[in-house]
Chains A and B, each alone.
Chain A
Amino acid sequence: MSALTQTTPAAADNDAAPEREWRPPSYWPFVVPALVVVLAIIIFPWLFTIWMSLNEWKVGSPTTFVGFANYLRLPNDPRFVEAVGHTILYTALSVLLPLVFGTLAAVVFHAKFPGRGFLRGVFIMPMMATPVAIALVWTMMFHPQLGVLNYLLSLVGLPPQLWVFHPATVIPSLVLVETWQWTPLVMLIVLGGLAAIPVEPYESAQIDGAGVWQMFRYITLPLITPFLFIAGMIRMIDAVKSFDIIFAITQGGPGSASETINLYLYSVAFIYYDLGYGSAIAVVFFLLIIAMAAMMLHLRQRTLWTEIGGGA
């Protein structure tokens, strides 16, 4: 074929034309290492995961190509459907609560009062602890008979709770641990935002007779919104892939009441050794995360636009 094209002058011209225009850029050898690394550790595993998801692939048995059969299993798998619901609920709560409490804490710690530095330091300590270690501590605190939480409730006359030991309360209880650990992170980010706000708007608001709530609602909140979005994004990514705390405290139980996609995926791939089906779950999970991230970015752009609009 190439021999043929070379014999005709027109084709030879065509071949030569782009070569004259296109010179290999001199930087390409420097790109190659990065390209190889990205291909090897990001692109290849992803393509391989997609390939596995199209196969019946169980450890110890021969693999067979089954097309989309693994994906078709998903909607009919009640455990998966439940896990999606648990993941969404868990993520929503563990984004919202730290945002609310973190913002409150930031407003408190933004004010000047004696011992502020020390208290700030104490407040961010949970963030520095290892999740699995604190999970074990919380497990004992949640114990309905021996745990300290029910003892504290009994001091104020409240009935004992089952916390992570009952299907109805397990997700809120786990979110409590997440919130305890990650509120400080939100606080730090928002605190940075607060420090950047100039004092003039507050002064003029005070002259106009605005109250504390009004100043927070109409000045502070709009100005720290970009920071809240960053905090929300970081929290969302962390919460949706949360594994350590849930696994260490409940292993997805009681029953499967706190089984998120991540935990189910782990069971399917590494306990049932069903790598094909596990890969299908991973692919769907990945798409879900992309969708959530895209939604967040979209929301962020909308708020940026209103900010500009409001400022103009």
Chain B
Amino acid sequence: MNDHLISRRALLAGTAAAGALSLTGLPARAEPHWKKYAGTKLEVVLAKGPRGDNLQKYIKEFTDLTGIQVESEQIPEQQQRQKAVIELASGKPSFDVVHVSYHVQKRQFEKAGWLADMTGYMKDPNLTAPDLVESDFSAAGLEYARNDKGQMLSLPWSVDYFILYYNKELFQKKGVAVPKTFDEMVAAAEKLTDAKEGTYGFVGRGLRNANMTLWTNFFLNYGGEFLDSKGNILTDGPEAIQATKLYQTLLTKVAPPGVAGFNWMESMASFTQGRSAMWIDGVGWAPPLEDPAASRVVGKVGYTIVPAGPKGQYSATYGDGLGIAAASKNKEAAYLLCQWAVSKTQGARLLQAGGGVPFRNSILNDPEIQKGVKMPKEWLQSVIDSAKISKLGLPVVIPVAEFRDLVGAAITATLAGADPATELKKAHEQYRPILERSEKA
């Protein structure tokens, strides 16, 4: 058996995946039977972005390794989500593997039973490489991938932590220290704001729906929890009101005019032009910020974790994974593909290009892989630190989009002067029946 194993390794030595597996130094278990499903054809539907690019770019390596043919398509995120839902609901999806946006789709997919259970596959040494174990995924990843029965319904692929970007040059000019708490952040932002010069202390998403991802990070740091044990929504409680007040202060007093209509793109434009000193958003924006063709702040950007609130310090976390359609006829082959996509080799490539952050600790903490990261060291450090304080950034419910739209509109309304408590109350009066209906169905 051992001889057989060595010869198989020798055969695979040319492929990068095998190289990565040998790095793990876990010799006890055998290699999976990669070639067992050779000749199978898989269909994959991906959301457009660096993860999809990374998969498509190296897919030939997977085909060489397994003999499985892969047809994949990348569709813009919003449309990809629609396509996936509509096809899965039809019972006959055209794809075997689906790119899942956890923070939007987790509960919906679980409740509808659209994804195949991978728990058994992960325990099968014929199917799973020895280094792929559940405990290697970060807590947030496992929370996203497992259902309430503890079954793995997807493999966590890439995580998005919220971090604080700041402009070192503006900080130095005004003699301001990097804030560690919300109070310090507000004080710093006030000092950094110079409306005459057209520079502002803070920028962030103000646009309805998009703004919820920023707001929830405030909410979490004020000690907020999204749901109680019975599944009732709690985002209009005292923590929510405090978070909204902070959000209102930052976005009306020390942010650029018009921020109520800003999504990440407008926020990033303001930050890359050196017009805003601080920006809290997902960790994935480092590549454009460090790109001389698109940014005026190359080399001047500081990266750190989101400042602490009075009741905690968290990084609001979002993410995506790869699942197998329960209706697929090629589940094992599809599982091999998912496994390859989240493998150490593929994860390292993703991290090193700054296109995403793997959920797997063994990738993030590998010094060899860290050396190859093209983004600044501070960025990598902010990722590693955020992983330790990660907490899901949106409630795990079916009507996530309605939540983001309704509460998001309430939060945006406070930027035009509306009272936070009243607006939140009004939004939740509309949202509660929607949530109840979705859970009853």
Q: Which residues from chain A sit less than 8 Å from chain B, CB to CB?
A: 56, 58-62, 77-79, 143-146, 160, 162-167, 170, 250-256, 267, 270-273
Of the residues A162, A252, A255, A273, contact of B258 by C-beta under 8 Å = A162
Q: A143-B266, A267-B405, A271-B401 are in contact. Are A253 and B412 (CB under 8 A)?
A: yes
23 examples of A-B residue contacts, CB within 8 angstroms: A58-B438, A58-B441, A60-B85, A60-B111, A143-B258, A145-B258, A145-B273, A146-B275, A165-B260, A166-B416, A167-B260, A251-B207, A251-B209, A253-B208, A254-B206, A254-B207, A254-B208, A254-B412, A255-B416, A256-B405, A271-B82, A271-B401, A273-B85
A60 contact set on B, CB distance < 8 A: 85, 88-89, 108, 111-112, 114
Cβ-defined contact, B89 with A59, below 8 A: yes
Cβ-defined contact, B260 with A254, below 8 A: yes
B438 contact set on A, CB distance < 8 A: 58
**Residue ID in chain B nearest A271 by CB atoms:** B401
**Residue ID in chain A nearest B414 by CB atoms:** A255
Cβ-defined contact, B409 with A144, below 8 A: no
B270 contacts chain A at the CB level, 8 A cutoff: yes
Cβ-defined contact, A253 with B261, below 8 A: yes
B262 contacts chain A at the CB level, 8 A cutoff: yes
| Given A60-B112, A165-B257; 12 other pairs, CB 8 A cutoff | A58-B438, A59-B85, A60-B89, A78-B430, A79-B406, A144-B258, A145-B198, A146-B273, A166-B260, A253-B260, A272-B401, A273-B85
Cβ-defined contact, B89 with A250, below 8 A: no
**Residue ID in chain B nearest A164 by CB atoms:** B261
A271 contact set on B, CB distance < 8 A: 78, 82, 401, 405
**Residue ID in chain A nearest B408 by CB atoms:** A255
CA distance A273 to B82 in the complex (A): 9
Cβ-defined contact, A255 with B399, below 8 A: no
Interface-centre pick from B257, B261, B269, B275 (highest chain A CB count, 10 A): B261
B82 contact set on A, CB distance < 8 A: 270-271
A270 contact set on B, CB distance < 8 A: 82
B44 contacts chain A at the CB level, 8 A cutoff: no
**Residue ID in chain B nearest A78 by CB atoms:** B430
B337 contacts chain A at the CB level, 8 A cutoff: no
CA distance A166 to B261 in the complex (A): 7
Please, how many residues of chain B have a CB less than 8 angstroms from a CB on the other chain? 40
Q: A59-B85, A145-B198, A145-B275 are in contact. Are A255 and B260 (CB under 8 A)?
A: yes
The 9 residue pairs across chains A and B that have the minimum distance between CB atoms: A165-B258, A165-B261, A144-B258, A61-B441, A60-B112, A255-B412, A254-B260, A255-B409, A59-B89
A252 contact set on B, CB distance < 8 A: 208
CA distance A78 to B441 in the complex (A): 24
CA distance A56 to B433 in the complex (A): 14
Task: Tell me the chain B residues, 239-285 only, with Cβ under 8 Å from chain A.
Answer: 256-262, 266, 269-270, 273, 275
**Residue ID in chain B nearest A252 by CB atoms:** B208
B273 contact set on A, CB distance < 8 A: 145-146
**Residue ID in chain A nearest B413 by CB atoms:** A255
Task: Tell me the chain B residues, 187-216 only, with Cβ under 8 Å from chain A.
Answer: 198, 206-209
**Residue ID in chain B nearest A249 by CB atoms:** B261
B12 contacts chain A at the CB level, 8 A cutoff: no
CA distance A256 to B427 in the complex (A): 12
B266 contact set on A, CB distance < 8 A: 143
B208 contact set on A, CB distance < 8 A: 251-256
CA distance A207 to B392 in the complex (A): 82
B402 contacts chain A at the CB level, 8 A cutoff: yes
**Residue ID in chain A nearest B81 by CB atoms:** A271
B86 contacts chain A at the CB level, 8 A cutoff: yes
A251 contact set on B, CB distance < 8 A: 207-209
CA distance A61 to B438 in the complex (A): 9
Please give the distance in Å from A248's CB to the nearest CB on chain B: 12
CA distance A167 to B409 in the complex (A): 11
B112 contact set on A, CB distance < 8 A: 60-61
CA distance A61 to B405 in the complex (A): 22
Cβ-defined contact, A145 with B257, below 8 A: yes
Please give the distance in Å from B109's CB to the nearest CB on chain A: 8
Cβ-defined contact, A143 with B412, below 8 A: no
Please give the distance in Å from A260's CB to the nearest CB on chain B: 15
